[in-house]
A and B are shown apart, each in its own frame.
Chain A
Amino acid sequence: MAEANSFKLEVRSRPDNVGLVRLAVAALAAAAPFAVADLEEIKVAVSEAVTNALVHGYGGRDEGWVLVEASLSAEWLRVVVADRGCGMEDVGLARQAAADGERLGLGVLFMETFMDEVAIESQPGAGTRVVLQKRVPAPSAAALGREAASDGP
């Protein structure tokens, strides 16, 4: 991959935008030598961050905005998901079950399991910012072998 690529995307706090954002990030990440399983994991982590913004930040109201900044370098995929919703006094609250009792606080677990670095900053009344980072794997020996073979004599 020659140049680092990046995008900024601001979406309404609507449930259908959870899918939109994770597909955009996966499309960016697909330019790096991530395995298919890595891309699936990235999609889950991004989905959790955006869902947290909608459910915790904006309480399910759709008039808010979620800002997503994603960048891909030779070493890292970095995704920042920020809302200007209600924020949290204690980011540990994000681990707790949502009001419907069915999300079980697994979102943070998934982000931490599927990404290499996760940071959550939140201020009551100001919003929440989640930074997800995943290390770009080195191109596999098999892929290098294929390139070498396709160069041919």
Chain B
Amino acid sequence: MAISYRVEPGRLTVALERDLDLASAADARAALDALLDRYPDRDLRVDLSAVSFIDSTGLGVLLGRYRRLSAAGRAMHLDGVQPAVSAVLTVAGVRQIMSWDAGVSDRTREKGVVADGGGQLV
């Protein structure tokens, strides 16, 4: 799984790509945790616009990070949620606990949008 990220004041944006399942969960979890450790004072925005599939294992990665962040008083937001991903989030009741948008407000993957740091992981 390719992961890119962007750091702005108060906010860390991480873009995940492709399928979020058992094959990619460990990498995604490790990369997200490494970034959350590195930027401990920022909220997290996860860009899912390039994620077309998620199952309970992939969802577990997102919910695990959500638990970690809320315990520390940090916010987590999902962006670019595709229809197939939205169906899974809805059944799991994620809509009640986490904010998310179906659209993509900006593009994490574009070059030159790095505020004070960013790059590729994994």
Contacts and interface: CB of A to CB of B under 8 A. Distances in A.
Interface of A: 15-16, 18-19, 22, 37, 40-41, 43-44, 47-48, 51, 54-55, 98, 100-104, 106-107, 109-110, 113-114
Interface of B: 19, 21-23, 29, 53-57, 59-61, 63-64, 83-84, 87-88, 91-92
Contacts, number: 76
B87 A37 contact: yes
Contacts of B29: 102
Q: Which 4 A-B pairs give the minimum distances between C-beta atoms?
A: A102-B60, A106-B56, A40-B84, A15-B23
A51 B83 contact: no
Contacts of B88: 44, 110
A40 B61 contact: no
Contacts of A22: 53
Contacts of B54: 44
Which one of A22, A55, A104, A109 has the greatest number of beta carbons of chain B within 10 Å?
A: A104
